[in-house]
């Protein structure tokens, strides 16, 4: 309020008019009025205000003015939802009789109520967080001057361009909210070495809470106005329900009671993902595991019962399943190429592992960047499923297919923007010539399914390279990288090669060559 006064004095041109008392707010003969205003900050919507005026001419003549405002803004590093509700009643002579104002942000709530006692004297009560209450008397002159905003063309002269003090001092960002990040970091789990216990926490605490939040959304939104988002959320609900069904047999018999209770307490402290439930503050003795063991990216990938190795690409058909020269050799039987490309697709599991680390390492990234990373992750998981599903159909025992871990081991040594640069500008951007040859060869087989899967893979990869062009410069800026993109990518490639010498080739074969899948075995499986 103080800020606004300063603005008024310093920038009178922002205000389009003024009037004495409240009468000038109301035109003659209205019985009610409603108005909405969008609140923009740096061109981005961050909230709205809603004002409503109701004339009452029955029991107590006069009128009620109520106003609500909601804003999402960054307050001291945490993104918070701030809401304000204000109401005033005027008597039949348009004199202020009572007013109230409630302001809530995150955990803090303040309420101010005013009641006219004598001609100009109001009794004011201020409640903070329901715990402390103060009363005082203040003077509100009958002829208070009320200013009207000048507006602009967009709002047809109704808004307050340039007004609004407080939240311009605070910045809004898309940054991941700290309490939510904290809970996810906790759920990744440093407390137990058993990945099934960690999975139980994720699937039996975090995801059911997400499902509850989706259901809450469906309950509180308008079936017509919010139709499109409701239809989407209905799909999310179906997905979440399916995930719970699918995971159940894998978690049967896993004793995760203690860990689940630990996570439930942290979640209850937030009142659910949307804060829609009653908050149960954490007990004083609650110990965050991440405070004891800070999160770091895992040193290696978890492939559960499946065998692992450094790389599946090589030159020797007695050693490795994907024999590089075979991919483009016109003499190679197309059936062998199809098998090799499915192994290649299945290996994209590592892309999920290292791309996820980029996600985690960019908490302050714009929402759209994370949106594209999420899509990217999902694509890679489909690609690896293409191989996982098709190989057994063609006679390959998945327990003989080693998973290559080199890329993860090397990339995790590099900062996130370098990881992302290698992925999009190097691995993906350079995969097209070979993939085009491979697709042509596979087409000889008249295998509609293989053609379709490879076409999807190629389209997705084109998108991933587009994402790279779009986001790499922003990610570089995030990490203070100022070189031109091309120069940075070239230097990163050099660095990767250097690190490959240090961190690559360190994972021994889980299986001896007699047991593991190799190029020679693929020829035999293909019937050659």
Part in contact with Fe ion (CB under 5 A); list of ranges 156-164, 179-187, 383-391, 412-420: 383-391
Near Fe ion by CB under 5 A: residue from 204, 240, 348, 353: 348
Of 348 and 353, CB closest to Fe ion: 348
Of 260 and 383, CB closest to Fe ion: 383
Part in contact with Fe ion (CB under 5 A); list of ranges 75-83, 153-161, 177-185, 345-353: 345-353
CA 518 – CA 396 distance, rounded (Å): 11
Of 266 and 345, CB closest to Fe ion: 345
338 contributes a contact to Fe ion by CB under 5 A: no
383 contributes a contact to Fe ion by CB under 5 A: yes
409 contributes a contact to Fe ion by CB under 5 A: no
CA 77 – CA 171 distance, rounded (Å): 9
Q: How far is the CB of 384 from Fe ion (least distance, A)?
A: 8
Q: How many CB atoms are located within 10 Å of the residue 469 CB?
A: 12
Residue 339 burial (CB < 10 Å; 0-12/13-18/19+)? buried
CB of 38 within 8 A of CB of 70? no
Q: How far is the CB of 379 from Fe ion (least distance, A)?
A: 6
419 contributes a contact to Fe ion by CB under 5 A: no
Site string for Fe ion, 423-462 (x = CB under 5 A): -----x--------------------------------x-
Closest residue by Cα to residue 116 from 152, 90, 147, 150:
90
Of 380 and 402, CB closest to Fe ion: 380
464 contributes a contact to Fe ion by CB under 5 A: yes
Part in contact with Fe ion (CB under 5 A); list of ranges 47-55, 62-70, 381-389, 481-489: 381-389
DSSP 43: T
DSSP 159: S
Of 380 and 406, CB closest to Fe ion: 380
CB of 379 within 8 A of CB of 464? yes
Q: How many helices (H) and strands (E) does the chain have?
A: 17, 14
Q: How far is the CB of 411 from Fe ion (least distance, A)?
A: 14
150 contributes a contact to Fe ion by CB under 5 A: no
CB of 289 within 8 A of CB of 186? yes
CA 201 – CA 116 distance, rounded (Å): 55
Of 47 and 321, CB closest to Fe ion: 321
350 contributes a contact to Fe ion by CB under 5 A: no
CA 384 – CA 342 distance, rounded (Å): 8
Bin 73: left if φ > 0, else alpha if -120 < ψ < 50, else beta: beta
- Residues 157 to 176: which contact Fe ion by CB under 5 A? none
| Length of the chain (residues) | 528
Write out the residues near Fe ion by the rule CB under 5 A.
Answer: 348, 380, 383, 428, 461, 464
């Amino acid at each position: 309020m103080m800020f606004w006064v300063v603005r008024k004095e310093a920038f009178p041109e922002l205000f389009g008019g003024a009037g004495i008392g409240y009468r000038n707010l109301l035109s003659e003969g209205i019985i009610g009025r409603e108005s909405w205003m969008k609140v923009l900050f740096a061109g981005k919507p961050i909230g709205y205000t809603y004002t409503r005026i109701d004339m009452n001419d029955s029991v107590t003549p006069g009128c009620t003015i109520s106003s609500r405002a909601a804003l999402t803004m960054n307050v001291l590093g945490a993104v918070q939802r701030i809401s304000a509700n204000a109401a005033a009643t005027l008597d039949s002579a348009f004199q202020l009789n009572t007013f109230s104002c409630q302001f809530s942000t995150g955990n803090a709530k303040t309420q101010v109520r005013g009641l006219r006692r004598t001609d100009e004297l109001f009794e004011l009560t201020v409640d903070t967080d329901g715990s402390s209450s103060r009363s005082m008397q203040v003077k509100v002159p009958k002829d208070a001057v009320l200013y009207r905003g000048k507006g602009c063309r967009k709002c047809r002269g109704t808004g307050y361009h340039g007004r609004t003090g407080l939240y311009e001092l605070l910045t809004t960002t898309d940054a991941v909210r700290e309490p939510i990040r904290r809970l996810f970091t906790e759920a990744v789990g440093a407390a137990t070495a058993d990945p099934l216990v960690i999975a139980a926490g994720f699937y039996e605490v975090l995801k059911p809470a997400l499902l509850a939040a989706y259901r809450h959304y469906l309950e509180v939104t308008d079936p017509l106005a919010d139709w499109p988002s409701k239809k989407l959320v209905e799909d999310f609900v179906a997905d979440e329900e399916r995930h719970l069904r699918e995971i159940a047999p894998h978690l049967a018999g896993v004793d995760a009671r203690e860990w689940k209770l630990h996570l439930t307490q942290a979640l209850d402290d937030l009142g659910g993902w949307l804060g829609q439930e009653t908050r149960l503050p954490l007990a004083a003795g609650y110990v965050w595991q991440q405070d004891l063991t800070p999160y770091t990216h895992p040193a290696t990938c978890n492939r559960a019962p499946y065998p692992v190795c450094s790389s599946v690409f090589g030159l020797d058909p007695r050693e490795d399943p994907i024999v590089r020269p075979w991919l483009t050799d016109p003499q190679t039987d197309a059936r062998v190429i199809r098998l090799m490309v499915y192994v290649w697709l299945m290996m994209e599991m590592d892309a999920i592992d290292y791309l996820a680390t980029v996600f985690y390492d960019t908490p302050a990234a714009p929402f759209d960047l994370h949106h594209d990373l999420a899509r990217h992750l999902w694509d890679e998981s489909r690609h690896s499923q293409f191989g996982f599903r098709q190989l057994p159909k063609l006679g390959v025992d998945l327990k003989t297919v080693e998973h290559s871990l080199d890329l993860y081991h090397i990339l995790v040594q590099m900062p996130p923007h370098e990881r992302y640069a290698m992925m999009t500008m190097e691995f993906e951007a350079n995969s097209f010539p070979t993939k085009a040859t491979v697709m042509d060869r596979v087409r000889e087989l008249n295998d509609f399914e293989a053609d379709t899967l490879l076409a999807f893979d190629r389209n997705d990869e084109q998108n991933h390279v587009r994402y790279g062009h779009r986001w790499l410069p922003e990610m570089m800026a995030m990490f203070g990288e100022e070189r031109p993109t091309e120069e940075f990518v070239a230097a990163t490639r050099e660095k990767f090669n250097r690190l490959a010498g240090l961190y690559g080739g360190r994972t021994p074969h889980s299986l001896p060559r007699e047991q593991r899948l190799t190029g020679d075995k693929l020829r035999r499986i293909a019937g050659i």
